[in-house]
Amino acid sequence: MPIQRQLVEVTNRQVMIELPASFVNHRVELIVCTMDDEAASQTKRRRPHPEIAGKGRTLGDLVGPIVDGEAWECLQ
């Protein structure tokens, strides 16, 4: 499978590439990704809505149940 890789400086929203003659009459896959590390590091951290921020509490152990097994009606 022939592969062609090009690094292109983008100046507007369109990029023209010229493919080798061996690509004619074949299906090709184009994958476009940015090479800038700044874009990946600037992902915004998600925050809860201001109306619910800080209102949650952790009750007891995160792994174990809060109540004893005997208190569960479905187990009796």
Q: What is the pLDDT of residue 41?
A: 59
**Residue ranges per domain, the chain?**
1-37
pLDDT tens-digit profile, the chain (76 residues): 788 888 888 889 888 888 889 889 999 888 888 887 665 556 678 888 999 998 988 877 788 777 777 777 776 6
pTM: 0.38
If you write DSSP's letter for every residue of the chain in order, what string do you get? ----------SSS-------GGGTTS----------HHHHHTPPPP---TTTTT-----S-SSS-SS-GGG-GGG-
